[in-house]
């Protein structure tokens, strides 16, 4: 497994807000505990609100994503101009922060954006580029509650074919994920959209069944109100 893929999987594990021991995460990802220690140091150095230490465990103290939102063309332009204004300001700290924010906004866009002379908005990268063709179909299927058939390549290079109920798209800096109910596994699954190699709408509308809905998925993955201390 590539290190970037492993860091992504670690964030997925930690996002529930619970305490996770390095040994447990190492077993899940099939790597050494020492590798997890190094990865945790990298994630903590990146600025994530992550707390913990070796021998105790690690916990993500705060959400790391904004809730999904849709911007109009004028709203996006206002955001772009506001970021540029701060980036060009006299405060060097805020200027660096504005440029970092601009890069994150650009990475969250599923389609290319014309950069200005300062390059504040750029295309989001190869993972998002591979995911981009699937996004319109996925959004339509989520809105219409339409069952899909996908061909998916996992991190070990194995291909599988699934019938799924698409529930929610999420963006993680450079990677889109799809939360879905997998009919074959009879359970919720999170798929990286850039690893979907084929996507076929079935024309079948899936029923609104308790235990298989988006709110059930969210309840399953939600962080507890009071998380234990590391």
Model confidence over 119-164: pLDDT tens digits?
455 434 678 778 878 988 998 999 999 999 999 998 889 999 999 9
pLDDT above 70: percentage of residues in the chain: 76
Q: Where are the alpha helices (DSSP H) in the chain?
A: 3-14, 22-29, 33-45, 73-87, 92-107, 126-131, 135-144, 214-221
More confident residue, 10 or 229: 10
Nearest to 113 by CA among 79, 69, 68: 79
Residue 44: its pLDDT value, please?
Answer: 82
Q: Are 207 and 33 in contact (CB under 8 A)?
A: no
pTM of the model: 0.50
Q: How confident is the model at residue 106 (pLDDT cuts 50, 70, 90)?
A: low
Question: What domains, with CATH codes, occur in the chain?
Answer: 3-60 (1.10.10.10), 73-123 (no CATH), 128-221 (2.30.30.100)
Rounded Cα distance, 192 and 170, in Å: 10
Residue 93: CB atoms within 10 Å = 7
Compute CA distances 158 → 22, 132, 213, whole Å. Answer: 27, 22, 27
Indicate whether 59 pLDDT > 70. yes
């Amino acid at each position: 497994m590539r290190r970037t893929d492993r860091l992504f999987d670690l964030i997925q594990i930690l996002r529930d807000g619970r305490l996770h021991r390095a040994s447990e995460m190492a077993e899940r990802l099939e790597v050494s505990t020492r590798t997890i220690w190094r990865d945790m140091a990298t994630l903590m150095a990146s600025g994530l609100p992550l707390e913990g230490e070796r021998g105790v465990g690690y916990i993500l103290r705060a959400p790391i994503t904004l809730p999904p939102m849709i911007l109009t063309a004028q709203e996006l332009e206002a955001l772009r101009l506001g970021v540029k204004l701060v980036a060009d300001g006299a405060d060097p700290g805020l200027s660096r922060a504005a440029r970092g924010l601009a890069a994150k906004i650009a990475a969250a866009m599923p389609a290319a954006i014309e950069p200005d002379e300062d390059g504040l908005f750029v295309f989001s990268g190869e993972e998002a580029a591979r995911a981009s063709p699937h996004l319109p179909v996925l959004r339509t299927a989520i809105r219409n509650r339409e069952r899909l058939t996908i061909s998916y390549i996992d991190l070990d290079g194995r291909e599988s074919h699934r019938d799924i109920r698409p529930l929610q798209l999420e963006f993680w800096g450079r990677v889109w994920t799809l939360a879905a109910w997998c009919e074959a596994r009879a359970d919720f699954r999170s798929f990286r959209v850039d690893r979907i190699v084929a996507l076929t709408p079935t024309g079948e509308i899936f029923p609104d069944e308790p235990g298989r809905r988006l709110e059930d998925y969210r309840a399953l993955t939600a962080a507890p109100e009071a998380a234990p201390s590391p």
